[in-house]
Amino acid sequence: MSTIPTMEGISSQVVQTDRLKVHVLTAGLADGAPVLFIHGNGATATFWEETMLALPPGFRGIAPDMRGYGDTEPLPVDATLGLSDMVEDIRSLVRAMGLGKHQIVGHSMGGGIVMKYTIACAADLLSITLVDTMSPYGYSGSKGLDGAPCYDDGAPAGAGSVNPDFIRLMGAKDRGAENPSSPRNVLRQFYVKPPFMPKQEEDLLSSMLSLRVGEDWYPGDLLASSHWPGVAPGRRGLVNAFSRHYFDACAIVDIEPKPPILWIRGADDMIVSNCAFWDIAALGAMGYVPGWPGADECPAQPMLDQIRAVLDRYQANGGFYREAVIADAGHSPFLEKPEEFNALLSKHLRLAQG
C-alpha cells in the first residue's frame, strides 16, 4: 500500500479511524507490546523502518504518516491548534487499532507532538522517548528558559521564515543535488551530519518529497508584521502550527502519572540547538538575514536549554528523565548511529514494559 518501497519485514496498511485514513508501517508480531513512532517534519514513517526492525523481541513497532505526509489522508492543518489536530489523529489511531497501554517515540516535530499527546493521554503511556525533539515552546519566536514570546504576533517564526527556494524545490519534487537548497542537499547537510550518507537515501528523499506543499500544509500561510523580519505566523499550515505563537507543551511538567522520559539527541544537531541553523533569529545573529534587532529583543532560541529546563521541572515534580547525547551525530542519530541509539532505546523500552 505504501507508495514508498519498504524494507523486508515492514508491513504497510491503511487504517480508517473516526477522523481520517492513516497510512501505517508496522514491524514485529501483531500481539507484541506496542511502540508508536512519530516522525518529524519533512519525513514519514519510512524514517523509522530500520529502528522498528531492530526492536527487541516481544515488541511491535507502529509508525503512522501524519496528516499532510506520505500516504495518510491529507487533511488540512489548523495552525491555531498548535499540532493538537495531529495529537487527536494519533488518539483516533490508537483507538482504531485497539492498542491499549503503549510506549511512544517522537523525532523533531514528532517530539513536540508526543509532548502534547502525553499531556492528553498520560495514563495510556508506559514511556516516552524524545529524539532531537523541538522545544516545548515551539520552533522559533521565543527566548529565555521560560519560552517567552519575542513578539505578541509570533514573529519571527512561521511559514515566512522558511527558505523560499526550498519550498519551491519541494513543490517541484526536485531530486537533484545542484541547488544548495534542494531537498537532497538538505537531507545530506542537516538531517544527518556530513559526510554520513544514509543507505536508504532515495527512499528517505521520496519520504521528504511526499510532504504536501501549500498554505494548508507546508509551510502554511503568513501575515505581515511590524516586527522583524516583517512576517508573522498565519493560521494555517505546519510551520505555523509548531511556532511559539501557537505551540506550548510545558504543561507536561504537571501530568499524572509521569511516564519515564528518555531524551536522545545528536551532539552535532544543526536543526535543534541553542543556535539552530533553521531558527531565523539565529540566522539574523549570524548576519544571514538583514535587519536583526539584536539579542536583547530577538535572540536565538535556546532550544536545548528550554528542553532541559522543562524536563528538570518534570523530574522535580516527581517524574524521571535521562538525557543521552550521541557523539558525532546530527539530527537523526537513529539513522547515523543505529547501534548506539537502539541500545539506549531498547533498554528504556524493556524497563518501562516491566
Residues 345 and 37: beta-carbon distance below 8 Å: no
Q: Which domain holds residue 102?
A: 11-141+244-353
Tell me the three state secondary structure of residue 13: strand
Does residue 186 fall inside a structural domain?
A: no
Does residue 137 fall inside a structural domain?
A: yes
User: Which residue's C-alpha cell is 503512522?
Assistant: 64
Does residue 266 fall inside a structural domain?
A: yes
State how many domains the chain has: 1
Give the C-alpha separation, 169 to 209, whole Å: 9
**What amino acid occupies position 138?**
G
- What confidence tens digit (pLDDT) does each residue in 210-239 have? 999 999 999 999 999 999 999 999 999 999
Does residue 17 fall inside a structural domain?
A: yes
Distances (CA, A) of 264 to 21, 134, 331, 334: 31, 12, 10, 9
pLDDT attached to residue 216: 98
Residues 21 and 14: beta-carbon distance below 8 Å: yes
- What confidence tens digit (pLDDT) does each residue in 243-252 have? 999 999 999 9
Does residue 341 fall inside a structural domain?
A: yes
Does residue 287 fall inside a structural domain?
A: yes
User: Which residue's C-alpha cell is 492543518?
Assistant: 77
For position 293, which CATH number holds?
Answer: 3.40.50.1820
Alpha-carbon dihedral of residues 3, 21, 25, 59, nearest 10 degrees? Answer: 180
pLDDT attached to residue 1: 76
Q: What's the gap between Cα 271 and its chain centre?
A: 11
Does residue 87 fall inside a structural domain?
A: yes
Task: Calculate the average pLDDT of the chain.
Answer: 98
Q: Are strands 125-131 and 261-266 parallel, antiparallel or unpaired?
A: parallel
Q: pTM for the complete prediction?
A: 0.98
C-alpha cell at 220: 502554511
What residues in the chain have per-residue pLDDT under 50? none
Does residue 163 fall inside a structural domain?
A: no
* DSSP annotation of 7: -
pLDDT attached to residue 119: 98
DSSP assignment string, 131-164: ESPPBTTBSSSEETTTTEESSTT--S-SGGGS-H
* DSSP annotation of 93: H
